[in-house]
Chain A
Amino acid sequence: MLVSYNWLQDFLDLDVDPKDLAEKITRTGVEIASVDHPQEGLKKLVVGHVLDCDGVEGTHLHLTHVDVGEDEPLQIVCGAPNVAAGEDVIVALHGARIAGNEKIKKGKIRGMESYGMICGLQEIGFADSVVPEKYADGIFVFPEDADVKPGDDVYHALGMDDYILDFDITPNRADTLSMEGSAYEVGAIVDQKPKIEDVVLKEDGPDWTSELNAEVDEKLAPKYYLRKVSGVKISESPLWMQRRLWNAGIRPINNVVDVTNYVMLLTGQPMHAYDARTFKDGKLVVRKAEKGEKLTLLNDKEVELDPNDIIITDGKEPVMMAGVMGGKNSEVEDDTTDVILESAVFDGTLVRKAALRHANRTEASSRFEKGINWDNTQKALDMAALLLRNDANGTINEGEIKATDAQRKPAVVKTTISYINKVLGTELSNDEMVKIFDRLNFETEVDGDDLTVTVPNRRWDIAIPADLVEEVGRIYGYDNLKSTQPLVAETHGGYSEAETKMRRLKKIVEGQGMMEAISYSLTSPEKAVRYTMDPKATVQVQMPLNSSRSTMRENLMTGLVDAASYNMARKQNQLAFFEQGRVYDHDGGTFNEHEHLATLYAGNTFEDNWQHQTQKIDFYFVKGQLEDLFEAVGIDESKIEYKAAEIDGMHPTRTAAIYLDKEYIGMIGMIAHAVTMADKALRGSELYGYELDLDKLDAHIQKGMTAKPAPKFPAIERDLSILVNKDDSNRDVENVIRANAGKYLVNLKVIDVYAGSHIEPGKKSLAYNLTFLNEKDTLTDEVVNKAMDKVMAALKDDLNAKIR
């Protein structure tokens, strides 16, 4: 709501700088998003009286002489189509500043001297959306009632000397969506009682109430009042009303429509004016629309009505979408003489949904949806009638139709002074508190500590004691609250055990030189289950923003591959990403979330360097990083098994499923060529990574430990070189060695793998280094020799290995 500082003066005596007032309101009530002073930056704009005006042959120009209050009239060349002798207009003198900080200078146009410029409203800073249609494509002409004379500054007459406070309200403070509501709020803040006047109305026409039979569903419109004003003469509104409208961001239309808008701004009660001819059959019905019904709105939008839209009909056809916008077929037009005024309370939720459904939010609908003051229905109706008599020469017919008239009782909230103090942490006395409510114009009753507050209907946001706490707190001033720390019993802060473990993993991976990424949880249906060993039912959102963000990921890898693509498209090829986050599925009919950790590498182990000493990232580098990670969190290497596996999106012969204690915990490998070939940025690059299910890893991560002394006895190392079938995996060999090497084997390392031309076809050579250690005694060669003999024998027997 754009609130005029000058208009506020109707209700209050304000003598503060509008900017200071705005800051005060912001801290106490409603955020003031901006304070606009329309004349700011403008200079030398005066009223001019056009003395004569002649068309210049062969052009669209006019040569005018304009009285600007000086001895001699000014000659001004003007291109506007609506310039004419006898008009009072806006003149930018030589040296003037108009909108956009543009400077006006005297000059020659087509050889004719021009000593200034006659302006349209847009040229002096008005928004297109508020300029009356009549002046949209030309200059502004002051109406007769403007009370201006040549040479006057234009700012006052046009309302540009005002300050406009933009009330950026929260949904609970719709009470300030009116001048009266704002005046109550500002009055409470500056400690003044606003002067809110009642309407005194004299009906001067015949009774009309038998002319119309109004049938209204009380559930849809608990209050529904109508009045009739006859014999109106449609014209422009008086300037004072127009400037209040445009300063509030509303375009003046004509003296009937403007009155309804003006009354809405004043009271917060949306109004509607129908051409009385609409109801010539004597029938008005407020009901829900039926399927298939259509209505063309005032903005020429034709809408197909929904069965949840409230509409007003003439008994047959819809003529208005209730609370949202009138229909073209009931519009007040230039030849309208009789007007039916409507002041009603419509169901806010239905209005909100209708406005949303038809993408047609209006000043009216936004007020209904947030709630309006039930006590202003009558006042608004009477005020509109009064103004129509004053501005449009209307006759107010006797009587009103009150088709529905539900009453809302003011809320009575009981609490205690001590409760309010306790919640705020204040020590306000009874008197201080009562004084605050008095500033808000709330009635109070105090009985000892007990406090009863009667809240006027204009503040329908207040219903419970906590709401009163807020009122006291803000009017007392949050600036005046002490700053304290909660005085509560000591608590032990910290992370959950699972999170502590995850943080440990993250720290290690970061220490390995990985860069942390965060990617989107929503991805495409295909990517959601790519890189996933055993895809589950996916989680899909309704109405996704687009198909590539429709499905919750079941893996983190897809986000990292996206990141790789983004970076490689920008020639960033040295990548080492990790992400820790959740994956989501709908397995077994429940929504499940699992914590995962994934890494993705591309490029070299070292950055390119002048020594050319680096290695391409490969499977074994990444596996080494993973093994280090497992070791660092105390996961027993021997319980881990890597099995070649085929996973969608992963290279089918360079990927392993990882098992811990026979349970699948993740995978490691190279991103499939099918993926990298399909992406221009990734084409030709090799990406390796792993992904782990941390929920499954959790139980295996070591927590706490007991230290052992460093070994006191020396270890004995032996190397062993064997020839095995090419198909035998390292794991097959290691299993045989571990099973037969006895309890003193403490470490087993592969030291060479060779399968080339120097050995027989179908075979490969493997070499191992075995470390034996007895922690309690010196180990003898004899014991180790025996163990090695057993190992070698078993290798021969089980794998048909040749010892080299």
Chain B
Amino acid sequence: MDLFDKLKELRQQGLDEIKKASDEKKLNEVRVELVGRKGELTKILHSMKEIAPEDRREVGQKVNELRDLFNTQLNEAKDSILAALVAKKMEEERIDVTLPGRKAHLGSKHPIYVILDDLEAYFIGMGYKVVQGPEIETDHYCFEMMNLPKDHPARDMQATFYIDDEDLLRTQTSGDQARVLEKHDFSKGPLKMVGPGKVYRRDDDDATHSHQFMQMEGLVVDKHVTMSDLKGTLEMIAKHMFGQDRKTRLRPSYFPFTEPSVEMDVSCFNCDGKGCPICKYTGWIEVLGAGMVHPNVLENAGIDSNVYGGFAFGLGLDRFAILKYGIDDIRDFYTNDVRFLEQFRKEED
């Protein structure tokens, strides 16, 4: 058989073998056999000297062509074998993407702190400092300095946990006002503060009473602070907290540490003022107490009430949370039932 026929035969045989090779290993054997260093094509090249010199060039050319062809075919075959392999593997790796994921713990903020953080951010933005006072307070700061001398009837409104004759668990955050007023240096600018914290009352716990709850106190004192400023400030808080479309009203009220004193109601968010069980058919829901700082409170702190004046307000954080989230039992805040608390993961603040 002449060399050309042999090449022709090798070509056919090689292509068939490549086609037959079913996996990478077999394909590799074929590769060694055809184009390897000891393979058929090499053998032909090695036998060149037996070929007439005038044919050598053509044979060489044919051998190279055939090697290129084989290499191309081998690579293609390899690719398709690999592709099939990958396809098979991927099929084997198929998962049910509808099965649930593994869940770790997801943190949450307590609803009262959701409210508090929101209010603090709001007031800080308006230039208020956040101030913290002691929870174990003296009668002096909690009452006397706040214009509630001993035997004042308003003390009956606040059942107090006394520790001894002079020390008590604060019933209100107002004591923070007295402390801040005493320390504030008005030559360095006006006083604007909010003071949040825990307070305590000698009440038995039930759906609407808690012996411990949280309040926030606000105080602005300078030379020209008016009741109109108080009204504007309270309206902004109420709308920020309960919605821009809420209506508000101020009602005369009484607190020993403010004069005039007011309470603010917002139109009921449940019935929009028409009257329902939530607002006890009044259309209004009380949200906070406020007033112009009583001159005695200023004077008690050594501030000239003829020169300085301002407003103060106090609000119940528990009450805000109750109203905002429609909670019907204040004890829910303190039993720490995870099924209650976990809802507030969703709440923005």
Contacts and interface: CB of A to CB of B under 8 A. Distances in A.
A and B interact physically: yes
Interface of A: 26-31, 34, 170-173, 348-349, 352, 356, 369-370, 422-426, 464-467, 469-470, 473-474, 478-479, 481-496, 499, 509-522, 539-545, 549, 552, 559, 563, 566-567, 570, 572, 574-577, 581-582, 584, 591, 593, 605-607, 609-611, 613-614
23 contacts: A27-B251, A27-B252, A352-B156, A370-B153, A423-B292, A466-B260, A478-B252, A484-B228, A484-B232, A486-B225, A493-B127, A493-B130, A494-B129, A496-B130, A516-B108, A516-B110, A516-B341, A522-B161, A539-B163, A559-B336, A574-B338, A607-B102, A614-B102
B197 to A, nearest CB: 9
A591 B125 contact: no
Contact of B262 (A478, A516, A542): A478
B112 A483 contact: no
Contact of A515 (B107, B124, B131, B134): B107
B334 interface: yes
Contact of B260 (A474, A485, A549, A593): A474
B308 to A, nearest CB: 11
Given A425-B229, A483-B232, A521-B212, 8 more contacts: A171-B157, A352-B156, A423-B226, A495-B120, A516-B108, A539-B163, A559-B336, A574-B105
Nearest to B106: A513
A687 to B, nearest CB: 14
B272 interface: no
A416 to B, nearest CB: 11
Nearest to B211: A545
B103 A606 contact: yes
B123 interface: yes
Given A30-B252, A493-B125, A467 B259 contact: yes
B228 A483 contact: yes
Nearest to A546: B204
A369 B103 CA distance: 62
Interface string B219-235: 01010111111011101
Contact of B109 (A466, A474, A516): A516
Contact of B100 (A522, A559, A610): A610
B327 interface: no
Contact of B135 (A469, A485, A510, A593): A593
B103, B161, B309: residue with the most chain A Cβ atoms closer than 10 Å: B161
The 3 closest A-B pairs by CB, nearest first: A513-B105, A425-B226, A425-B228
B254 A173 contact: yes
B120 to A, nearest CB: 8
Given A28-B252, A489-B190, A570 B337 contact: yes
Contacts of B249: 27, 478-479
Contact of B163 (A422, A423, A518, A542): A542
B90 interface: no
B52 interface: no
A613 B252 contact: no
Interface string B242-277: 000000011111100001111100000000000000
B198 interface: yes
Residue with the greatest number of chain A CB neighbours at <10 A, chosen from B106, B124, B252: B252
Nearest to A472: B260
B227 to A, nearest CB: 5
A518 B102 contact: no
Interface-central residue, A171, A473, A516, A549, by most chain B CB under 10 Å: A516
Contact of A473 (B104, B161, B205, B260): B260
Contacts of A552: 136, 169
B150 to A, nearest CB: 10
Contact of A483 (B128, B162, B231): B231
B127 A593 contact: no
Nearest to A603: B105
Interface of B: 99-100, 102-110, 112-113, 120, 123-132, 134-136, 151, 153-154, 156-157, 161-164, 167, 169, 189-190, 192, 198, 200, 202, 204-205, 211-212, 220, 222, 224-229, 231-233, 235-236, 249-254, 259-263, 280, 292, 294-295, 309-310, 333-339, 341-342
A606 B104 contact: yes
A495 B124 CA distance: 8
B104 A513 contact: yes
Contacts of A466: 259-260, 292, 294-295
B252 A584 contact: no
A567 to B, nearest CB: 5
A572 B105 CA distance: 13
Nearest to B133: A593
B6 to A, nearest CB: 58
B338 A567 contact: yes
A614 B190 CA distance: 56
Nearest to B294: A466
A485 B163 contact: no
A539 B102 CA distance: 45
Given A513-B105, A552-B136, A485 B162 contact: no
Nearest to A348: B153
Nearest to B103: A607
B228 A584 contact: no
Contacts of B233: 485-486
Contacts of B294: 466
A495 B117 CA distance: 11
Contact of B309 (A172, A423, A574): A423
A522 B211 contact: yes
B192 A493 contact: yes
Contacts of B153: 171, 348, 352, 369-370
Of the candidates B153, B224, B309, the one having the most CB atoms from chain A within 10 angstroms of its own CB is B153
A369 B309 CA distance: 31
Contacts of B103: 606-607, 609
Contacts of A492: 127, 129
Given A423-B309, A515-B342, A499 B132 contact: yes
Contacts of B198: 521, 581-582
